[in-house]
Amino acid sequence: MEKKIKKTISCAEVSYDQIDVTRNLNYIPKIGDVALFEVLEIGKHKTVQSESKRNVAILKGDFILAAFANRYATAQFEGYIPEQPTEILDILGAGGAIGLVKSKNAAFEDIEPTKLKLVGYAINDSKEIVNTLYFNSTKSKFRGEVPNNAKVFLSIGSTMDSGKTTTAAYLARGLKQSNKKVAFIKLTGTCYTKDKDLVYDCGADVSIDFVNAGYPSTFMISKEDILDIYQTLLDSLAAEKPDYIVMEIADGLVQRETEFLLRDTAFMKTIDKVILSCGDSLAAFWGISFLSDLGYKPSIIAGRFT
């Protein structure tokens, strides 16, 4: 029986000519490199999100098309793209982020990641390895320009699962009920559409994320690259002429990418209001203090602790 390839959302926009099996033992992958993998053992991830956004079951022996990426998720896995040619790999995220798990939340102490075997790299008709970063529309360099002079509300949180997305979603809903044109951006994170889909379902006119700029993940990429992603996404909203842009940054205040964005003056000049979601009252007190020291007093305090 010829098995079909289950294409994950991380590489939904890519096309390829064939699978090259000759580079597996001599090529070091980079973020966004697309490859074909065989499922060896089912662990934490029993499904992957397909290119149609449907969560499809995976079974031992299945083949999936996915992209190499890093991931940092305090409630789940910390994992990285291998630094040497590696054939046995882990699913880091259900959207098709592949690498090697370095650490995991205590809740998964007895649960292993789903194991994959690298079958081969996807290549184009020029024999180049296909990479998600190059299947995007024109990328923009950061200029700090917001389309339509829209007001930008930044939804951040004390940690992962503190309520950032829910807060952003209902803020978008309230703005829509006030007859405003609303866009949502998820600027950082790991490929998976659940968050942007929720905000869209709550009423946002358009909902986009870093994957629309070609990145399967933003963990461990440079600040300059993230700022360029931001401008690329802003420019893509120009035709929508939004009145408001609600934007979420993943994880918590002191996570690498979140903290360096909050400390970047040019980035913060594009922000009109800061909204802080927290998991408990202690996090709220500390978060307010942390942001106030940076000169950004939160306009709204929300999240699970409320």
Q: How far apart are CA 25 and CA 46, in angstroms?
A: 27
The residue written with tokens 């600040």 in the block is 223
pLDDT score recorded for residue 117: 99
Q: How far apart are CA 289 and CA 195, in angstroms?
A: 27
Q: Is 156 found in the same domain as 108?
A: no
Residue that finishes a domain, picked among 83, 103, 134: 134
61-87 pLDDT, tens digit each:
999 999 999 999 888 999 999 999 999
The pLDDT of residue 1 is above 70? no
**End-to-end CA distance of the chain, in Å?**
54
The one-letter amino acid at 294? L
The pLDDT of residue 135 is above 90? no
Q: Is 296 found in the same domain as 154?
A: yes
Residue that finishes a domain, picked among 103, 134, 165: 134
Q: How far apart are CA 168 and CA 202, in angstroms?
A: 9
Q: Which domain does 61 fall in, by range?
A: 5-134
Where residue 215 falls among pLDDT bands split at 50, 70, 90? Answer: very high
Q: Is 204 found in the same domain as 159?
A: yes
| Cα–Cα nearest to 133, from 249, 229, 260, 238 | 229
Stretch 110-125: mean pLDDT, rounded?
A: 97
Assigned domain for 184 exists: yes
Q: Is 254 found in the same domain as 163?
A: yes
Assigned domain for 141 exists: no
The pLDDT of residue 156 is above 80? yes
Burial track 252-278 (b if 16+ CB lie within 10 A, e otherwise): bbebebbbebbeeeebbebbebbbbbb
Q: Is 172 found in the same domain as 110?
A: no
Q: How far apart are CA 273 and CA 302, in angstroms?
A: 14
Stretch 284-295: mean pLDDT, rounded?
A: 96
Assigned domain for 140 exists: no
Assigned domain for 139 exists: no
Q: How far apart are CA 114 and CA 102, in angstroms?
A: 14
Task: Please state the domain count of the chain.
Answer: 2
| Cα–Cα nearest to 67, from 37, 101, 32 | 32
Question: Quick check: 272 and 153 in contact, CB under 8 A?
Answer: yes
Assigned domain for 65 exists: yes
The pLDDT of residue 299 is above 60? yes
Pair of tokens at residue 188: 């950082």
The pLDDT of residue 133 is above 70? yes
